[in-house]
Structure 1
Amino acid sequence: MKAKNIIQFLLAGFIVLLLAACSNTDAEQLFEETPTERLNAQKKELNDLLLSSENGWKAVYFTYDSVLGGYTHLFKFASDGTVQMASDFDADTKVYNSEYQIQLGSTVSLVFTTKNRIHLLSESDNYPIAALRSKGYLGDFQFLYYGEENGDIVFKTNRNNHELRFVKATPQDWTDLPKNIDMIKNVVGSDSRPLFRLLETTDGTTTHQFDFTFSEVTRFAEANSIESGYSFTYEMGVGYAPNGIIISPAVEVGGQKLSNFVYNDLDGSFTATGTNGVSATIKYSTKPLVITDDYKALLPGNPQSVYGYISANLYTAPSNSKMFKDLVNKVNATLPATQSLARIQIVFNNATNGTYIQYLFNGGKATISHLVTTKEDAANKTIILTNVGWTQSAANVAFLKELDDQLTNPSGLYVKKESFKITYSNVIWTFTSAASNFRMTTYAL
């Protein structure tokens, strides 16, 4: 073998040995820590992070954003294992003290070990709707640590493995937390605003509109496209903020994700603004976005049909307007303590009595009926109920006047056969005033 080749061979062998030595050293360094030592290092890392923020941490916790909205929590951790905590779960935004631990298991986790505001989301006997009975708000008080990213502490929830981020809080976050509660009335809407709402999106060139509904009790909203040939639905959890709302999952428009909607008190709208003309706005409309012909089935010449509001089952229906519930409460306030309004039934096209509104009561009070005629306003797609007479004297029905005036207003009622159900399999029909914020929810009986 030539000397030149021998030298090249020896050089190649030396390089191989050198690389092997480096690889062995790296492997030794990689595995010289035991799993327990690595977990302890993570435990210290999390502990140092929790204590590092002068004003604590903020988390908007969407426990399950396909059913429920978000709840803002503020935390201030101390080295003695105590934590100060406040939340906007309800109107009580005061700061409470409790204890926490950083625990080791298969991973490192933050556990709130004594009861505080965060536990309101995990109590199985504390639930907002019947569908969540024995499940509560689907929340956790143990959070699995996944590291730090851009200054945030990243956790996964123990219950459903959803990501939750702690961001550094400011003094203003603690001061402004009660403003989240003040924002609720703007999201729900007041009687001074129109009853109907829509979500309008634009990608800079094309605009789409969606019928918008919101449930205060679950902090959850749904928006369905109203355009023929364009079928799309947004379902979103809503979290409150001092200046508006936070949406999860984000509304995606033109490839951009919009989640922070700012409130405008002048018109009651909430707007999220992206770039290049992209935006999404929740705003009011003076009439329904989709006006149906469902009222036609109630006009003279059709078979008898009966629609009943039953207080025991439908008083809390989210499709009832606040105005309707206020008028029901006002009627009940005029009655003796043992009596209350049990039902409002509208009977259309009865063979003997024609069309009439029935008011039925608990506590032995006799039923009161209001005989009416019906006609359609074809241009506005409403049905108009007009007074014929009552089965009792004017003095005896005066306490029903404000409520009855909404059902018989000259502008008529929008009628809609709804797609959702409430408790029973009966089809839901809503009757909505064309002149006010009155909407009553009924069963087809």
Structure 2
Amino acid sequence: MKPKNILKYLMVAFLAVYALGACTNSTEAEQIFDQTPSERLNAQKKELKDALLSSEFGWKAVYFTDDTQLGGFTHLFKFAADGKVVMASDFDDDILKHESEYDVVLGSTVSVVFTTFNKIHLLSDSNNYPTTALRGKGYMGDFQFLYYGQENGDLLFKSNRLVKEVRFVKATQQDWADLSKNLLSEQNLVGGIDKPLFKLLEINDGKSIKKYEFGYNPLSRYASSSSLDAGSSEVVSMGVGYTPTGLVVSPALKVAGQSLTNFVYDEASESFTATGTGGVSAVIKYSNAPLRLTDDYKILLPGSPHAWFGYYVGDYTEDAPTNSELFVQELAGINASLPAGVTITSVQLYLNHSLGNFIYYTFAGRAAIFHYVNVTEDPVGKKVILTHKSWNGNTTVGSPAFLKEFDKHLVNADGVYVKRENFKLFYTEPVYTFTSASSSFRMTTWKLN
């Protein structure tokens, strides 16, 4: 066949295929556009209304408002046809059901709006912020969610403010009954007054284990964990949500190509574990000792220059975030044991002073008390051990009853960890913390010379 004829036949074939395609596309277009935009939106509105009412026990959403700096908050919703919604959440200790109103509205798309106050609004209150960086922004949450359809029975939304995906899954009766267990998971992660102050994140890629110092802000529910490898600046960050059995994190923790999102709590080891395949896992657990041991304690040792540290009631050291719950409780215990009108005003440590080594307790309403101590080094544990010498220079008297419980956290055979912190408390003086090796007692001081 001549080239001229080949070209002619190709053109005929092309036009035939084009005509067939045009016919098909025209048919599809007629199917898509057989409704006006208003009719399509109204149909979608009805679809969402029906869907919200279709689940017997309502819907559950773990709402990560912004997982670059905030964690997740579980909300349960039970919608009614009369525009009422019953809601509960684990945002705070109030997990009771609250009734409010909602509406399904039309805009550029269909959305569900919680029109009167309920727990979801706590995430959008700009005056309710968990960190200084979020001042005036709150928890970056929404109370209006744009509807984008359904997937495997779930309702898909995007938040109006940050356009983040929010997925409503069908709730069960057990979800409502178990919501309070989220608060137990929170306590297990945050720790109580009797729990160690330090936490470790261990990541196992199936071949080796990497360790991180697990840092967690319970207000923002956000974790930033710094690598413990020498010279490493790696930080693993993730938002944390609570579940009845442990934790859920976002973004997912990526380990050896696997995505770990669910951590299960083990009561015996007091740890949370996310398990993959092929030996891949991640564990969050407590540590009795600081994860980064330093030589900061050496300035307290005999032969060093005089060192003076002070904690002061009513001053900036009182507001330091490094003061532990146990320390605050024990300090309050001193005041509770003192006569009316007498209160403790400071706890000071003097090392290598001309008078010796002593803890100096001052009060409003009574004379100060000196607890003289001996100082020895634990070079392996990188801490100092303070042992009793005398009270006010008298070796025959015992501990004052009102100081006994407080003082035992500093003066005992297990010793004290000393750390120079990397922050200041208003003034330029260095900040040092003293952490008991035998309890969760940690006191924050200025170094005053």
- TM class by shorter chain equals 0.7 to 0.9
Q: How many Å separate the matches in 1 of 2:51 and 2:254?
A: 33
What displacement does 1:266 show?
Answer: 1.0
CA distance, structure 2, for counterparts of residue 222 and residue 11 of structure 1: 63
The answer for the alignment partner of 1:331 in structure 2 is 334
The worse-fitting range, judged by mean Cα deviation, of 313-322 and 155-164 is 313-322
- CA separation of 1:14/1:219 partners in 2, compared to 1, >3 Å: closer, same or farther? closer
Partner of 1:93: 95
For residue 306 of structure 1, what is the aligned residue in structure 2? Answer: 308
Q: Percent identity?
A: 53
What is residue 320 of structure 1 aligned with on the other side? 323
- Answer whether contact 1:215 1:318 (CA < 8 A) is retained: no
Partner residue of 2:212 out of 210, 213, 216? 210
Superposition map of 1:4-43 within 5 A: 16-43=18-45
List per-residue Cα deviations over 1:216-272 (Å, max 9, x = no partner): 333333322212254422223322211112222322211212121111111211111
Contact 2:391 2:399 in 1 (8 A): no
Shift of 1:191: 5.2
CA contact (8 A) 1:331 1:399 kept: yes
Give the one of 291, 294, 305 matched to 2:293. Answer: 291
For 2:44 and 2:426, the matched residues in 1 are separated by 49
After superposing the two structures, state which structure 1 stretch, 65-74 or 266-275, moved more: 65-74
Q: Counterpart of 2:189 in 1: which secondary structure? A: helix
Counterpart selection for 1:137 from 122, 136, 139: 139
In structure 1, the residue matched to 2:407 is: 404
Amino acid at match of 1:182: L
Q: Supply the AA of the counterpart residue of 2:215.
A: T
Structure 1 length as normaliser, TM-score? 0.87
- What is the CA–CA distance in structure 2 between the aligned matches of 1:269 and 1:284, rounded to whole Å? 7
Per the alignment, residue 378 of structure 2 pairs with: 377
TM-score by length of 2: 0.86
Once residues 214 and 4 of structure 1 are traced to their aligned partners in structure 2, the CA distance between those partners, rounded to angstroms, is: 73
User: Structure 1 residue 173: deviation in Å?
Assistant: 0.3
Instruction: Give the drift of 1:382.
Output: 1.0
Conserved 8 A contact 2:78-2:85: yes
Alignment equivalent of 2:433, drawn from 416, 430, 435: 430
What does residue range 184-203 of structure 1 map to in structure 2 within 5 Å? 184-190=186-192, 193-203=195-205
1:345 paired residue number: 348
2:127 aligned counterpart, secondary structure? coil
Q: How many residues align?
A: 442
Question: Which residue in 2 is equivalent to 1:71?
Answer: 73
- Alpha-carbon shift at residue 88 of structure 1 (Å): 1.4
Partner of 1:271: 273
Mapped contact 1:250–1:259 kept (Cα < 8 A): yes
- Measure how far apart 1:169 and its partner are: 0.7
| Shift in alpha-carbon separation, 1:57–1:376, aligned structure 2, 3 A | same
Quote the residue 1:58 is aligned against.
Answer: 60
CA-atom RMSD, angstroms?
3.2
Q: Which amino acid aligns with 2:266?
A: N
Q: How has the CA–CA distance of structure 1 residues 248 and 333 changed in structure 2, closer, same or farther, with 3 Å as cutoff?
A: farther
Q: Which moved more, 1:67-76 or 1:8-17?
A: 8-17
Question: SS of the counterpart of 2:330?
Answer: helix
- Structure 1: gaps spanning 5 or more residues: none
Aligned to 2:226: 224
Q: 1:32 to 1:189 in 2, by over 3 A?
A: same
Structure 2: distance between partners of 1:63 and 1:392: 59
